[in-house]
C-alpha cells in the first residue's frame, strides 16, 4: 500500500481521512491539527497539562512540546494520583524526557478518597479532576488547563448533550480553546487533540515510542461505551463524518445567542460554581457517606 500523499510505503491508517499514510505524512497530519488549536492560544501563555498517563494526555503534551517554541508557551503538568504505580512511572519518565515542571497531587492531601463503587468512582474522579486542575492552574499562575480530550470525545459530548437536551456545556465549553476568566478564578481550557481521534493518539505514541499506562475506567456501563461504537460505525462508512459533526455543532454554537452565564464563587473555597457551594466542596462534606 502506498501513502496517500507520496510514494512511500504507507504504515498508518487515518480513520478520519479514510486513507493510509506513511510515517512522515502521519506526523505532518497530526502536528498540523495540533497547531490549528495552539495558534488560537495567546502567545507567551502558560499551559498546565492534566496527565492521566493514557495515550491521549501523553500525545497532547508531547506534540504541544514540539510546537511550544513557535508560540512561546511555558508547559507544566500534574498527575492526580489514583493509586497506579504504572501511571506514576509513566509521568516521571515523561517529565525527564520533556523537562517540564511537574507535580503529582495526592487526593489524601485534599481529604478525598475515590470510592470503591465504580459508578461513584467515575463521578468523584470527574469532579475532583476538573476542580483540582483549575485550582492548581490558578494558584500557580497558569493561564490554561490543557487536557487530552480528542475528537471522539467531542463527538460523544456533542451527541450526548444533544440527546440529554443539556445545552449549557455546548454553549460555553464546546471549543478547542476557551479563554481564562481571572476575576472568576477560571483558567482557560485547551484541547490540543480536538481534531484528532483515539486511533490517531495511539498511532502517535507508538510512532514516537512514548511510555503510557492503561487508564481504563472501571465503569463498563459508561454511556460512552454505547455511543462511541455507534459513531465509529457511521465513520466506517463516511470517514469525514465525525470531523464534520463536531465542526457543525461548534459552528452552530458560535452562531447562537449566548445568555449571560451564571457563575458564582463558592462560599467555602472561593472557586467558580453555578450554585452557592461547588461540587468539590459538597463532595468533601458528604464523602463520609460515599465510602
Q: Between residue 271 and residue 290, which ones bind Zn ion under the rule CB under 5 A? A: 278, 281
C-beta of 125: minimal distance to Zn ion in Å? 17
Alpha-carbon gap, residue 105 to 93, rounded angstroms: 17
Binding mask 4-23 for Zn ion (x = CB under 5 A): -xx-x-------------x-
- From 1-9, 79-87, 95-103, 110-118, give the range in contact with Zn ion by CB under 5 A: 1-9
Annotated binding site for ATP: 50-52, 56, 80, 148, 153
- Nearest approach, Cβ of residue 21 and Zn ion (Å): 6
Restricted to residues 44-73, the positions that interact with Zn ion (CB under 5 A) are none
Radius of gyration (Cα) for the chain, nearest Å? 19
Give min distance, CB of 22 to Zn ion, in A.
3
Which spans in the chain are helix H? 23-38, 55-71, 85-98, 118-139, 151-163, 167-173, 198-207, 224-237, 241-255, 279-290
Binding mask 229-268 for Zn ion (x = CB under 5 A): -------------------------------------x-x
Interface residue with Zn ion, options 25, 33, 55, 62 (CB under 5 A): 25
- Over the range 110-124, which residues count as b (16 or more CB within 10 Å of their CB) and which as e? eebebbeeeeebbbb
Cell of 30: 497530526
Q: State the number of binding residues for Zn ion (CB under 5 A).
A: 11
Least Å distance, CB 24 to Zn ion, is 6
Q: Which strands sit side by side in the sheet containing 188-190, from one edge to the other? A: 101-106, 74-81, 46-50, 144-146, 188-190, 177-178
Q: Which CB atom, from 234 or from 287, has the smaller least distance to Zn ion? A: 287
Residues 6 or more apart in contact with residue 149 via CB below 8 angstroms: 56, 191, 193, 194
Question: Is residue 3 close enough to count as binding Zn ion by CB under 5 A?
Answer: yes
Residue 40 sits in the site that holds Zn ion (CB under 5 A): no
Q: Which three cell numbers stand for residue 133?
A: 486542575
Give the CA angle between residues 243, 248, 250 to the nearest 5°.
95
Binding site for Zn ion (CB under 5 A): 3, 5-6, 8, 22, 25, 266, 268-269, 278, 281
Amino acid at each position: 500500500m502506498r501513502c496517500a500523499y507520496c510514494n512511500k510505503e504507507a504504515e498508518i491508517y487515518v480513520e478520519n481521512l479514510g486513507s493510509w499514510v506513511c510515517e512522515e505524512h502521519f506526523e505532518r497530519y497530526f502536528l498540523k491539527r495540533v497547531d490549528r488549536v495552539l495558534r488560537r492560544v495567546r502567545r507567551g501563555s502558560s499551559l498546565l497539562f492534566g496527565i492521566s498517563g493514557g495515550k491521549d494526555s501523553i500525545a497532547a503534551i508531547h506534540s504541544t512540546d514540539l510546537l511550544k517554541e513557535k508560540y512561546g508557551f511555558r508547559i507544566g503538568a500534574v498527575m492526580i494520583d489514583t493509586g497506579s504505580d504504572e501511571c506514576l512511572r509513566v509521568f516521571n519518565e515523561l517529565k525527564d524526557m520533556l523537562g517540564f515542571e511537574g507535580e503529582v497531587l495526592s487526593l489524601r492531601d485534599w481529604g478525598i478518597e475515590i470510592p470503591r463503587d465504580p459508578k461513584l468512582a467515575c463521578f468523584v474522579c470527574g469532579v475532583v479532576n476538573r476542580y483540582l486542575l483549575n485550582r492548581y492552574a490558578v494558584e500557580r499562575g497558569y493561564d490554561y488547563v490543557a487536557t487530552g480530550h480528542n475528537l471522539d470525545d467531542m463527538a460523544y459530548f456533542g451527541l450526548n448533550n444533544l440527546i440529554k437536551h443539556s445545552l449549557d456545556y455546548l454553549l460555553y465549553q464546546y471549543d478547542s480553546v476557551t479563554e481564562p476568566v481571572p476575576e472568576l478564578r477560571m483558567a482557560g481550557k485547551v484541547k490540543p487533540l480536538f481534531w484528532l481521534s483515539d486511533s490517531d493518539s495511539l498511532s502517535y505514541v507508538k510512532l514516537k515510542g512514548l511510555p503510557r499506562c492503561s487508564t481504563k475506567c472501571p465503569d463498563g456501563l459508561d454511556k460512552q461505551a454505547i455511543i462511541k461504537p455507534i459513531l465509529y460505525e457511521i465513520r466506517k462508512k463516511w470517514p469525514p463524518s465525525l470531523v464534520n459533526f463536531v465542526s457543525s455543532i461548534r459552528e452552530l454554537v458560535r452562531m447562537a445567542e449566548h445568555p449571560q452565564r451564571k457563575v458564582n464563587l463558592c462560599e467555602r473555597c472561593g472557586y467558580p460554581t453555578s450554585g452557592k457551594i461547588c461540587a468539590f466542596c459538597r463532595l468533601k462534606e458528604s464523602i463520609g457517606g460515599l465510602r
